[in-house]
Structure 1
Amino acid sequence: MKKIFLVIILAVCSSSYAVSVDSVRGSYGFVERGNSYSKMLDVLGNPDSSYKHIIHDRDGWPHKATSYFYSLNNVKYEITVVDGAVYSINWER
């Protein structure tokens, strides 16, 4: 039993994780949730990659979304844009 517990603890500690944040700092300012797509491009520049997908709101309605990926200062950011505005910002080590 102790070995299983130890393996689980080591697996959790060694894995990378994603954290939701409210803003990300670029070279010319900050991008926050609710900012426009054009401000995101002005502050952070062109993304490393992106993909389109569908997200659902609390009521279950689908919305077209695009997630953009940036690598800034050895940290990976995923910024999701819905209807032309920043919906969420996640970072990963």
Structure 2
Amino acid sequence: MKKVILAMLLAVCSSAYAVSVDSVRGSFGFVERGNSYGKMIDVLGNPESSYSHIIHDHKGWPHKAITYTYSLNNSRYEITLVDGAIYSINWER
């Protein structure tokens, strides 16, 4: 039993984690929640990858979303846009 708990603890401690942040610094300024797709491209450049998906708001209504992935300063950022505006920014180490 002790070995199982130790293995789970080591797995949790060594795994990467994602944190929601309010802004990302690019070479030409900052991008924050609520900014447009155009500003994101101007500040951060072209993303490495993207994918489309559906997210649900707090009332359960579906919305089309696109998540863009950037690697900046040895960190990975996932920026999700809904209706042309930045909805969330997740940072992963």
CA RMSD of aligned residues (A): 0.7
Distance in 2 between the 1:65 and 1:48 partners? Answer: 17
1:73 counterpart residue number: 73
* Structure 2: gaps of 5 or more residues: none
Find the counterpart in structure 2 of residue 45 from structure 1. 45
| Structure 1 spans left out of the alignment, 5+ residues | none
TM-score (norm: length of structure 2)? 0.96
Aligned sequence identity (%) = 78
Partner Cα distance (2:60, 2:26) in 1:
33
Q: Distance in 1 between matches of 2:48 and 2:2?
A: 43
**Structure 2 residue matching 1:42: 3-state secondary structure:** helix
Residue identity matched to 2:34: G
Question: Aligned partners of 2:29, 2:62: CA distance in 1, in Å?
Answer: 32
Question: What are the superposed Cα offsets for residues 57-83 of structure 1, whole Å, 9 maximum, x if unpaired?
Answer: 111111110000000011110000000
1:20-39 mapped onto 2 (5 Å cutoff) = 20-39=20-39
Q: What is the DSSP-based 3-state SS (H/G/I as helix, E as strand, rest coil) of the residue aligned with 1:6? A: helix
Equivalent pairs, count? 93
